Structures are given as C-alpha cells and as structure tokens.
C-alpha cells in the first residue's frame, strides 16, 4: 500500500511544535527527519546544537513528544551509526523507525536487533515498525540482500523507503524521477 507521509526537518523544538500544529488531526503519521551533520551535511533538531534538553526530557519521559496524543511519528534516522540513537527515538515514542542502508556498516544486524528488542515483546506491546531507506544512487540489490535474509528469519521489514532526491537532508530539492524505476524494480 502506498502512503503519503508529510516530512518535517525541524530547526528546533519550537519549529517542530509549529509544524506539527499545522497537521495535527489531519494526518495520522508524520515523518521527523533526523539529521546529524555526519551522514547528511545538515543538522536538525535535536542535534543542531549538541543534544537538545527538551529531547532528553522526552526520552526520559519527563515530557511528552509534541502532539503525541493526536499524531504518531516515525523517525527517519539520516545519521551516521543510527544504532547509537535508536533507543532514544523509540523511548521518545516513534511508532516507526527508518534506517538508511548506507548509514551503518551492518544494516541487517541492526534491523534484527530492533526486531528482537522492540517488536515481539508481548501481546500488549504495540511494537515498532521498521523500514529501510535507500538513496537514489544506491543499487536496489542492497535492499534485496536484507529482504531475502529477513524473509528466511520469518520477520521481514515493514516497508522500504526510496529517497526521491539526490541530496538528502534538505527540503525543496528537485525530484529525481529515477526513483520510479527503483520502485518498479522492487515490486
């Protein structure tokens, strides 16, 4: 099933709150683009100026994620070594996690770890959906290896996200029509 999910590249917590206020009650899910300045040249909240104090309060469950009661969010982790921050984003309330294949040395092991720790804890646990993202210049074969291995495990990923722009981490980039062929090839 195809989904259209609005994406936010937040400058700071106030920017995030403002943008979420515009879509709260209109869409069920929003993507928070998380950039660390290492995997992408840009940085977004909460890593723009070190680690934001508000984010630490959210992770520590002293404060709720903005609009947590009216819109779910997924964290698109456009960061180098997402394995170092996944726990924080799940603690913050992410319903879905997106791992960029190019961002970690062993994406298959990382997906397996997330599945083991966050997906099948108990019947009362909602679990976390896991997706992998593929940059426009990365061959689709990279995702095939992961899909085949996970299929053998009996627990494939929940979705694949193809980046439709060449320079990730920016808004307003020109759409790259090569993504259509990548999607057709995966299907």
Q: Phi and psi at residue 95, in whole multiples of 5°?
A: -90, -20
From the list 89, 88, 77, the residue with the least C-alpha distance to 38 is 77
Question: Is residue 124 pLDDT above 60, yes or no?
Answer: no
Q: What share of the chain is helix, strand, coil (3-state, %, to 5)?
A: 35, 20, 50
pLDDT at position 156 is: 73
- The CATH code of the domain at 7-186 is 3.20.20.70
pLDDT band at residue 125 under the 50/70/90 scheme? very low
Within a 10 A sphere around the Cβ of 57, how many other Cβ atoms?
A: 13
Give the model confidence (pLDDT) of 72-105 as tens digits: 999 999 999 999 999 999 999 999 999 999 999 9
Strand partners, 134: 162
Spell out the domain ranges in the chain: 7-186
Full-model pTM: 0.89
Mean pLDDT of the chain: 89
Cβ-count burial of 122 within 10 angstroms (0-12 exposed, 13-18 middle, 19+ buried)? exposed
pLDDT at position 153 is: 77
Token readout for 120 is 């099948």
């Amino acid at each position: 099933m195809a989904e259209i999910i609005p994406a936010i590249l937040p400058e700071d917590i106030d920017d995030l709150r403002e943008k979420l206020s515009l879509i709260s009650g209109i869409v069920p899910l929003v993507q928070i683009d998380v950039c660390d300045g290492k995997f992408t040249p840009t940085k977004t909240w909460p890593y723009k100026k070190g680690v934001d104090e508000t984010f630490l309060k959210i992770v520590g469950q002293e404060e709720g994620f903005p609009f947590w009661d009216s819109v779910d969010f997924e964290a698109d982790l456009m960061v180098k070594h997402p394995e170092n921050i996944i726990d924080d984003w799940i603690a913050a309330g992410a319903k879905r996690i997106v791992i960029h294949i190019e961002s970690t040395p062993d994406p298959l092991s990382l997906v397996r770890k997330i599945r083991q720790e966050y997906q099948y804890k108990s019947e009362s646990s909602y679990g976390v959906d896991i997706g992998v993202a593929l940059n426009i210049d990365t061959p689709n074969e990279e995702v095939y290896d992961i899909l085949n291995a996970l299929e053998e495990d009996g627990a494939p990923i929940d979705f694949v996200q193809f980046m439709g722009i060449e320079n990730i981490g920016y808004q307003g980039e020109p759409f790259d029509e090569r993504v259509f062929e990548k999607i057709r090839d995966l299907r």
